[in-house]
Every structure is written in structure tokens, then in C-alpha cells.
């Protein structure tokens, strides 16, 4: 399939049993673009992200990431996933390993690097998130914000072409949110393509290229942050924006 978008998802449907969660979603993302996805709880945001790296198997549709057909049975999915970083709301760091161990595991077992090279790359990734001196700490010894930054380092160490963030700051105490957003801002400045599910409207306003509003398994409306936040054309978008701004 020929495409000039780094992410090209078309007509994605997802059913969980009788529940129709995604009802034909199209999402195209340009290289270096930062796309923000917002929408009410249960609208399918997480499911969409998880379909993009096939943590969730879409019921139908097509997904091409960086030229790789993600749904083709012949695609080596583990190889493809290396190019798609994912950051989770609950960090999901491996608690039995140090920060460096978390970052080097896939470097060693997936990318096939030797110990020394993996550790050098791992330390460089931790440096990028400002945690070089925490390399030997276990997740239990780190704050939530630090844990999430280690999780980001775990992804970027593999030099992904796209990063997916699923509510990366929702589990954090308010005073720790800033450090994670700072790292995300740095990533964006380095040219990383990012798809972010989040309700951090301030960050969306000054960092996002595009905001996508989802409701009930569909993309209802999308556009530049100012347009979506100030002048939404759809009633459902207006209602949702009004709701979160009141909080």
C-alpha cells in the first residue's frame, strides 16, 4: 500500500464480543506530527492506540505504520513493534529489574545488542529523560514521575519511529506531571512522531499539531488545537470541551 503518512489506519472496527467499540476509524499521521486524542471515557481511545501496535487485534480495517502492513499475517509483528513505542498510564515498569534493566531488556533480547552496547544505549536513553543517576534504582525506589520517564526511556532506547502515549500523566500526583510533560516536549522537539491520549489541555494547546475528538467509537471532529478548543463545530465536541474545562 502506497502512503506518505507514517501512520495510516483505515476503517478500523473493533468488537469485544457484542460490544462494538471502534466503528470505522480513519487516522493518518504525518511524520513529526503530534496528534492529541481526546474524548469521553469508553469512547475507544485506548483501544484505537492498542490496535495500532496490535496489542489489540482489530476486527477489520487496515493499518500501515512506517510502510509496514501491521495486519498482514506475513509481517513479523515483534520486529514491527520495535518501531512503535508505547507508554502506559500505569507505567508498567518491570519491578524486579533496575531502571537500566528495564531499558536494556528489549535492546538485548529484541535488538540483539551485546551487554556493553545495550548498557551504553540504555544509559543514553535514561540521560535523555534526565535520570542517568537513577540507572541502578528499582521502580519501587522511584517516584511516579520518575517511573514514567524510565518507561519513556525504555521505548525511545529502541529508536522507534512513532510513540504512542495512553494517558501518560493520569496516574501521577499533580506536582509530578510537569517533569513527564517536559520529557514529552523534548521528544517532540527532537522530531518524534507522537500520538497522545491525554486530558492535559494546556499541553495540547501549546504542543499538539492536531487534536482529534473521539466519541462512541468514531472520530467526531479534528483540527488544530485552537479550532477544537475555541470553536468546535460539533455539538458533542462542544459539550465535552465545556465539561473538562469546568473541572
Partner 1 sequence: MIEAFFNIEIMKAAWPIVLTGLWNTILLSLIVVPLGLLGGLILALLASIRHPLVRWPLMAWVDFFRAFPPLVLLVLLFAGLPFAGLELGGFACVAIAFFLNTGSYYGEIFRAGIDSVPAGQVEAARSTGLTRMQAMRYVVLPQAVRNVMPDLLSNTLEVVKLTSLGSVVAVPELLYEARQAQSITYNPTPIVMAAVIYFLLLWPVVRLLSRLENRALAGRR
Q: What x-and-dash track marks residues 30-69 binding Mg ion by CB under 5 A?
A: ----------------x-----------------------
Residue 38 interface partner, choices ligand ATP, Mg ion, partner 1, none, CB cut-off 5-8 Å depending on type:
none
Q: How far is CA 142 from the centre of its chain?
A: 22
Q: Does 124 help bind partner 1 (rule: CB under 8 A)?
A: no
Is residue 1 a contact point for ligand ATP (CB under 6 A)? no
Inter-residue contact 192 to 163 (CB < 8 Å): yes
15 binds partner 1 (CB under 8 A): no
Query: Does 198 sit near Mg ion (CB under 5 A)?
Result: no
84 touches, from ligand ATP, partner 1, Mg ion, none (C-beta below 5 to 8 Å by class): partner 1
The dihedrals phi and psi of 210, each to the nearest 5 degrees, come to -150, 140
Report how far residue 116's alpha carbon sits from residue 127's, in angstroms, rounded to the nearest whole number. Answer: 16
Residue from 34, 35, 45, 194 in contact with ligand ATP (CB under 6 A): 45
Please pick, from the candidates 12, 33, 38, 47, the single residue that binds ligand ATP as defined by CB under 6 A. 47
Q: Out of partner 1, ligand ATP, Mg ion, none, which partner does residue 42 contact, by CB within 5 to 8 A per kind?
A: ligand ATP
Q: Tell whether residue 95 is a contact of partner 1 (CB under 8 A).
A: yes
Q: Residue 19 binds which entry of partner 1, ligand ATP, Mg ion, none, with Cβ cut-offs from 5 to 8 Å by kind? A: ligand ATP
For partner 1 (CB under 8 A), the number of binding residues is: 26
CB of 84 to partner 1, least distance (A): 7
Q: Applying CB under 6 A, does 46 fall inside the site for ligand ATP?
A: yes
Residue 44's binding partner among ligand ATP, partner 1, Mg ion, none (Cβ under 5 to 8 angstroms by kind) is ligand ATP
Applying CB under 5 A, the residues found at the interface with Mg ion are 46
Amino acid at each position: 500500500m502506497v502512503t506518505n503518512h507514517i501512520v495510516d489506519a483505515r476503517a478500523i472496527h473493533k468488537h469485544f464480543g457484542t460490544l462494538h467499540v471502534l466503528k470505522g476509524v480513519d487516522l493518518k499521521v504525518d511524520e513529526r506530527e503530534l496528534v492529541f486524542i481526546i474524548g469521553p471515557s469508553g469512547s475507544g481511545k485506548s483501544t484505537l492506540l492498542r490496535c495500532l501496535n496490535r496489542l489489540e487485534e482489530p476486527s477489520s480495517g487496515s493499518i500501515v505504520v512506517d510502510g509496514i502492513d501491521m495486519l498482514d499475517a506475513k509481517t513479523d509483528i515483534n520486529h514491527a513493534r520495535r518501531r512503535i513505542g508505547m507508554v502506559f498510564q500505569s507505567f508498567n515498569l518491570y519491578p524486579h529489574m533496575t531502571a537500566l534493566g528495564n531499558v536494556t531488556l528489549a535492546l538485548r533480547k529484541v535488538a540483539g545488542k551485546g551487554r556493553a552496547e545495550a548498557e551504553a544505549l540504555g544509559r543514553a536513553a535514561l540521560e535523555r529523560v534526565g535520570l542517568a543517576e537513577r540507572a541502578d534504582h528499582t521502580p519501587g525506589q522511584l517516584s511516579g514521575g520518575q517511573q514514567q520517564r524510565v518507561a519513556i526511556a525504555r521505548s525511545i532506547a529502541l529508536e522507534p519511529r512513532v510513540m504512542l502515549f495512553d494517558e501518560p500523566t493520569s496516574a501521577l500526583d499533580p506536582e509530578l506531571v510537569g517533569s513527564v510533560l517536559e520529557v514529552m516536549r523534548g521528544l517532540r522537539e527532537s522530531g518524534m512522531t507522537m500520538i497522545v491520549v491525554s486530558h492535559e489541555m494546556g499541553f495540547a494547546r501549546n504542543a499538539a499539531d492536531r487534536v482529534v475528538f473521539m466519541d462512541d467509537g468514531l472520530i467526531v471532529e479534528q483540527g488544530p488545537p485552537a479550532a477544537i478548543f475555541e470553536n468546535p463545530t460539533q455539538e458533542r465536541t462542544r459539550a465535552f470541551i465545556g465539561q473538562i474545562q469546568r473541572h
